[in-house]
Structure 1
C-alpha cells in the first residue's frame, strides 16, 4: 500500500513522462532546487518551469519505476525509461531521483537530485 509521499512521487514521475508540467509545478516549493549530477542545477520554481518548457520535445516512450522509498522528509525513486525526440532514435536510461520534502503532513518537493545513466 502506497503512503501519501509514495503516491505523490509516482504521480510526479508519470507527470514528467506525460508532459503534465502544471501538476509538477504544483508539487514543488518556490525555492525548489533540482541538481542533475554532471549536467546542471535548477534553482527556484520559475527556472524549473523554464526547464520543463525546454524539455517539451523529449518524448518518453517507456517508464518503469523499480523502487519508490520514503522515510521521513527524504525519498528516492529509481527506474528505467526510454526517451527520444521526433528527430532521434529512443535512448534507454536508468535513473535514481533523491527527494527532500518541505514537511511531513502536506509534503511539497523542496529538493531533487537526479542521477541518470545511459544504457
Structure 2
C-alpha cells in the first residue's frame, strides 16, 4: 500500500497515533489497531447502526477487509484534548476511490485508548 501524508513537526504524539491508526485500519492490520481500542469502544459508520464493543468492531472490520487498500492519502490530522480528527482518501483494489473523515474520542487527553470513532465515507467519482 502506498501512503501519502504531509510531514509535520513531530511534536504531537496524539497526531502520530491517529496517523498510525489510520494506516492500520487502511491495511486491515487489526491486531495492531485493536491494541488502542477500549473494550467498550463504539464505532459509528454514519448511516449505519453503531457497533459497540471491541470484538464486534473487529468483526465488522474483518468483514470489510476483502477489498484491500492500494493507496492511502492523509490530507490532515487535527488533535485537541481528548479528541482528534483525520481526513483523506483511499484507493482500493477494485479501483474505487473513497473520501473519509474519522473523528476520534480518547478516554482522556493524555490517553492512547480510543473510546469512540465516528466515520464518514463517501465515494469519489472520477470525472
Cα distance in 2 for partners of 1:81, 1:54 equals 18
Counterpart residue number, 1:59: 68
Counterpart residue number, 2:99: 94
Question: Under a length normalisation based on structure 1, what TM-score does the superposition of the two structures give?
Answer: 0.90
Q: CA deviation at 1:92?
A: 0.6
Question: Under a length normalisation based on structure 2, what TM-score does the superposition of the two structures give?
Answer: 0.85
List 4+ stretches of structure 1 deviating above 6 A.
Answer: none
Contact 2:82–2:110 (8 Å) recurs in 1 = no
Q: Larger % of strand: which?
A: 1
| Structure-to-structure mapping, 1:1-119, within 5 angstroms | 1-2=9-10, 3-84=12-93, 89-119=94-124
RMSD of aligned C-alpha atoms? 1.2
Bigger RCO (CA 8 Å, 6+ sep): 2
Aligned length in residues: 115
Greater mean alpha carbon deviation, residues 20-29 or residues 103-112: 103-112
Q: Any gaps of 5 or more consecutive residues in structure 1?
A: none
Contact 2:28–2:62 (8 Å) recurs in 1 = no
> What CA deviation, in whole Å up to 9, does each residue of 1:2-30 have, x standing for no partner?
31111111100111122211111101101
